[in-house]
Structure 1
């Protein structure tokens, strides 16, 4: 009997390990593997503090608004120093936080930005072998996982009084990047292996790209998302005035929906949220929100737009679609909302009990996580009837970043440290 049980137990252990590995996932891009803020991880910590469930933390040289990513055993984060003259990519061992390497791009110009937006607002993207980082005017860089530069590109200079903050995404061997804001704004696809441009599609801007013809603010900091609509892949991004869907192979604009021009200006900070066949886009600076069906070609505003509502709270954080609703955490005031994507109706809204949120919401293991500007991560249920809070986890350090979830662990960037949190 023992001879039978021994190989059986060995097989069982191997099966459990295999299932554990299969259920774990990397977090290789801003807002996760699918760019939608949804993690497949289970068993993630719900509660932690400065002295509880901290597996490791490492100091960072400067504050920043970019978020960590996790890929093939490594954690990547960007930092910037000396008024943006030095823009760096850091690589850490995910097991213990040991710094494996750091690569710095020196840039001899001081570009305009807002005091709340350091020169590292863009989150890197990786595929397990290559990591790509956009330093805006300082260039687009690709490294291997040992820190060797594979290639770099100068995509132009981007001047805006509030700086930059868009993150690159990967799709079928292409880097998709929304370049801007500024006088020239465009969407581009760059070959991951060679760094060569596959296509560029310009987006019209008014005046100098900072202010429109009415002298109101203008600009988009929206990171695109990849969608599969009617068996077709589309790159969807919120621009200053409209939401565009691009063909990822050619850069052709398949459709556009207008409605983001607001009373205070033409601004957008969030990524589009895809709610089944409906796209919801949020304007910035109390600007409008729109919902529309992703169908048709050309200007689909009249035929596909379902609703438009203005004004709204200041929205920098991107929401999550789950349980048939969109959950939002806002920058001002500190209000959490549950929204019906079909009508734009606010089902409920409550104060979080914390600070304003710039980082984006994440759904993991049946809970929603959002880190506010005071470094407190609020955990609550995606309850469509009421705000059901679970925990408020204080690190006591400011943060404008979005957590990364990988292999049962949570990685959080504050202005002072990079944390790895685990059970």
Structure 2
């Protein structure tokens, strides 16, 4: 393992074989969907291997994050999004330890398939930061005391918002948008003071006839090589890399289409980015400067692709991707773009992102069915487990347990002790 990646895992509370792994952010410690955990449950149902389940106030698409014995979850307390909350839950029994809500009386459109509070919180072990869209960015301590909040303006798009904050050094970084008011933002995580902002012009709310449908709902990803770290963010029509310390643009590559939902996927020096709504996908080398469209693009697939909302997994130079329409799964060679599993079906549509642990892939469809597959280029299904509840969220993993957020409950799945 790369030394810097290992150091970050240790910082997040991971020491393989000695301590349980925390799951502090959307898609885990490194934002890549991978866990070091082993001996996870292989079978479950609504009545089998369920440690507890917590009834939720309503539908939601955000994922739980876990730090030691505390779980944090964002949740709209009503359909209108006028009460936006952060829940702190006891991991041992699923009881709510505290709930802090923000009242919002402004107008913020969203789609019926994208409930309010779709962004996943992030924590460093002492602070929890959550984005409530137009209601602002909020930072709490582990006892539920508010440390700071930041009004970032209106976040207006016909389909709402869903990007999750991430942490880097002393910064919290957020893709605020989509809509006319779209930008990458870095704040001091201790005070909420703005450190830098990179505006992304050309956004559209798509709320009126004739307005363009475009935007990015993606969560940015950090990529470290040697002493240099890049912040990689896909926007409509292109992908951009920034210096996360100051927001300086490092390189850009054209080739995406107008709608982007998935996060970048990185393996060594290659990043794969995918458009949504049947748009393009491409792979780019990350060591360029300036406009690298002609010099660093490995491949570009502009054929009619599946609808892509959740993010896949890269393992051993293969990208595994469960798609939102139709409900199929792909195994893509990241060096060539070739799909080795063409037309391989896997349940219903998948909106949540895939997770990897112990050589296995976990993919949950909207029916609440989780498929377990071997993470190899030859398709092999190892299991299928159903909670029989609609879910659009991404699984979380901590201390040999799985956490699944459905529209009705938060479930803790655990092998018998």
TM-score range, shorter chain: over 0.9
Please state if 1:145 is matched with 2:142.
Answer: yes
Cα deviation for residue 298 of structure 1 reads 1.0
Whole-angstrom CA distance in 2 between matches of 1:359 and 1:318: 7
Name the structure 2 match of 1:276: 268
Structure 1, residues 130-152: CA drift from partner, whole Å, max 9, x if none? 00000010000000000000111
SS at match of 1:22: coil
Name the structure 1 match of 2:293: 301
Matches within 5 A, 1:350-365: 350-365=343-358
Whole-angstrom CA distance in 1 between matches of 2:338 and 2:212: 28
Whole-angstrom CA distance in 2 between matches of 1:253 and 1:409: 40
Cα deviation for residue 122 of structure 1 reads 0.3
Please state if 1:374 is matched with 2:367.
Answer: yes
Name the structure 2 match of 1:289: 281
Name the structure 1 match of 2:334: 341
Whole-angstrom CA distance in 2 between matches of 1:212 and 1:345: 39
Does the C-alpha gap of structure 1 residues 236 and 203 become closer, same or farther in structure 2, counting only changes over 3 Å? same
Matches within 5 A, 1:9-158: 22-80=18-76, 81-158=78-155
Structure 1, residues 109-147: CA drift from partner, whole Å, max 9, x if none? 231111100111100001111000000100000000000
* Structure 1: gaps of 5 or more residues: 1-17
Q: Is the 8 A contact 1:91 1:101 kept in 2?
A: yes
Q: Is the 8 A contact 1:23 1:40 kept in 2?
A: no
Please state if 1:399 is matched with 2:402.
Answer: no
Match 2:192 to one of 182, 192, 195: 195
Q: Is the 8 A contact 2:158 2:205 kept in 1?
A: no
Whole-angstrom CA distance in 2 between matches of 1:148 and 1:352: 47
Please state if 1:318 is matched with 2:311.
Answer: yes
Match 2:253 to one of 238, 250, 257: 257
Name the structure 1 match of 2:3: none
SS at match of 1:303: coil
SS at match of 1:358: coil
SS at match of 1:391: strand
Whole-angstrom CA distance in 2 between matches of 1:169 and 1:77: 15
Cα deviation for residue 33 of structure 1 reads 0.1
Q: Is the 8 A contact 1:267 1:287 kept in 2?
A: yes
Whole-angstrom CA distance in 2 between matches of 1:62 and 1:416: 6
Q: Is the 8 A contact 2:157 2:207 kept in 1?
A: no
Does the C-alpha gap of structure 1 residues 220 and 212 become closer, same or farther in structure 2, counting only changes over 3 Å? farther
Q: Is the 8 A contact 1:84 1:110 kept in 2?
A: no
How big is the alpha-carbon RMSD for the aligned residues of Structure 1 and Structure 2? Answer: 1.7
Whole-angstrom CA distance in 2 between matches of 1:101 and 1:392: 34
With 269-278 and 160-169 compared, the bigger mean Cα shift is at 269-278
Cα deviation for residue 184 of structure 1 reads 1.7
* Structure 2: gaps of 5 or more residues: 1-13
Cα deviation for residue 384 of structure 1 reads 0.6
Matched residue count: 400
Name the structure 2 match of 1:15: none
Cα deviation for residue 351 of structure 1 reads 3.7
Cα deviation for residue 230 of structure 1 reads 4.6
Cα deviation for residue 343 of structure 1 reads 1.2
Q: Is the 8 A contact 1:293 1:304 kept in 2?
A: yes
